[in-house]
A = this chain, B = another copy of it.
Amino acid sequence: MRGVVMHGPGDVRVEDREKPTITRPTDAVIKLAATCICGSDLWPYRGADSVDATPMGHEYVGVVEEIGADVKNLKVGDFVVGSFMASDNTCEICQAGYQSRCVHVVPMGRYGTQAEYALIPHADGTLVATPGQPDADLIPALLAASDVLGTGWFAAVAAEAGPGKTVAVVGDGAVGLLGILAAKQLGAERIIAMSRHADRQELARRFGATDIVEERGDEGVAKIKELTNGLGAHSTIEAVGTQESMMQAIRSTRAGGHVGYVGVSHDVALPGDELFFSGVHLHGGPAPVRRFLPELIQLIWDREIDPGVVFDLTLPLEDAAEGYKAMDERRATKVLLTV
């Protein structure tokens, strides 16, 4: 089969790889319908993480091709969506809703889903079947559920977005934008998007943002305070992962409010005294996307949400290298690869 392999920084190739086969009775093999490039795939692309002929990709939707003997919840031919973390969905941690930290968790990046086929461990726990074969126009939205929508949704839940709440969103990438969509769905009264890019502001408004703040850092915080009687937001979504964005999120939140952070933390050190006196709730980490998949799939199936619009470039799998380049050069927010 054909699959994406990264050989070094900036060196992405589509090559012949061995088609995966069932190795454990709980495995499934799926034939990909679509996959995509994640912001996190840019770290090795830019040399921040090391790679050595590494198969790439951890987002996926497709059709079940083969199942192991112990797989009970799925059958060959089902159209399925899974998360970037394979989980058994039965352990105590999964049952508490933290499938991304399952005691038997398997990061899907290990299997490289930017390919024609992918092996899915813990298939019964990981994959959720759609109600039927989806119309082609639903595939981008279902693919978004696999990571960026699920992550934005978790951020909004962690920030306790809901009725009567003012939600601030730090970060206008795919996850931040879908955090806005999630906050809206969860019933937030007011959603303040922090963004200085016209195209992303437009998408933010389309997803439910009521206000836009272009300022960053202390000026951004001052603006949020100005919009909230000097108190700060009830809920803040952090979807960047830098020191500046984390402090901006904490400082934008009122005492007793909630910060949901999903930007993968890079060189962040939170000052204990400031955190202490902020009085905020802080929760985040790798999103337990599996917790939300049944609900998200239904919302997409019923065409109540369309997270698929975050994909602003679609390419065939064979052109993956161009997709990486476009994201690296910020010509695209999020690239879908058709298979």
Asked whether A52 is an interface residue with its Cβ less than 8 Å from the other chain, the reply is no
Contact across chains for B282 and A283 when beta carbons are under 8 A apart: yes
A284 to B98 alpha-carbon distance, docked (Å)? 22
Asked whether A8 is an interface residue with its Cβ less than 8 Å from the other chain, the reply is no
Query: Which of A256, A277, A280, A282 counts the most B-chain CB atoms under 10 A from its CB?
Result: A256
Asked whether A272 is an interface residue with its Cβ less than 8 Å from the other chain, the reply is yes
- Whether A101 touches B285, Cβ cut-off 8 Å, given contacts A265-B273, A269-B269, A272-B266, is no
Contact across chains for B279 and A282 when beta carbons are under 8 A apart: no
| A285 contact set on B, CB distance < 8 A | 255, 275-279
Contact across chains for B272 and A276 when beta carbons are under 8 A apart: no
Contact across chains for B272 and A279 when beta carbons are under 8 A apart: no
Contact across chains for B269 and A93 when beta carbons are under 8 A apart: no
Contact with B along A96-138 (1 / 0, CB 8 A): 1110110100000000000000000000000000000000000
A68 to B83 alpha-carbon distance, docked (Å)? 62
Contact across chains for B279 and A286 when beta carbons are under 8 A apart: yes
A231-270 contacts to B (CB < 8 Å): 231, 241, 243, 246, 254-256, 261, 264-270
Asked whether A281 is an interface residue with its Cβ less than 8 Å from the other chain, the reply is yes
- Whether A276 touches B284, Cβ cut-off 8 Å, given contacts A93-B254, A256-B93, A256-B101, is yes
For A101, give its contact among B266, B268, B279 (CB under 8 Å).
Answer: B279
| A280 contact set on B, CB distance < 8 A | 283
A288 to B92 alpha-carbon distance, docked (Å)? 32
Contact across chains for B275 and A231 when beta carbons are under 8 A apart: no
| A241 contact set on B, CB distance < 8 A | 272, 276
A123-165 contacts to B (CB < 8 Å): none
How many whole Å from A141's CB to the nearest CB in chain B? 27
Contact across chains for B100 and A279 when beta carbons are under 8 A apart: yes
Chain B: which residue is nearest A100 at the CB level? B279
For A281, give its contact among B229, B266, B267, B282 (CB under 8 Å).
Answer: B282
For A255, give its contact among B93, B254, B261 (CB under 8 Å).
Answer: B93
| A270 contact set on B, CB distance < 8 A | 269-270, 272, 275
Q: Which 4 A-B pairs have the closest CB atoms?
A: A268-B272, A265-B272, A101-B255, A98-B256
Which A residues lie at the B interface, using CB under 8 A? Answer: 92-93, 96-98, 100-101, 103, 229-231, 241, 243, 246, 254-256, 261, 264-273, 275-286, 288
